[in-house]
Amino acid sequence: MKADSELIADRLTKLIKDRDITINRLATLSSLGQSSVNAIFRGDSASPKLKTLVKIANGLNMSLTELLDFPPYNQRPDGSSPDQEADRWQELGQALTPDEKERVWKILTGHDFPPYNEVEK
Q: Does residue 111 come out as left (phi exceeding 0), alpha (psi in the -120 to 50 range) or beta?
A: beta
Instruction: Say if residues 53 and 64 touch (Cβ distance below 8 Å).
Output: yes
Residues of the domain holding 111? 82-120
Confidence of residue 100 (pLDDT cuts 50, 70, 90): confident
102 and 61 part of one domain: no
63: pLDDT strictly greater than 90: yes
Does a structural domain hold residue 73? no
32: pLDDT strictly greater than 50: yes
Put simply, whether the predicted model's pTM sits higher than 0.75 gets the answer: no
Confidence of residue 16 (pLDDT cuts 50, 70, 90): very high
98 and 62 part of one domain: no
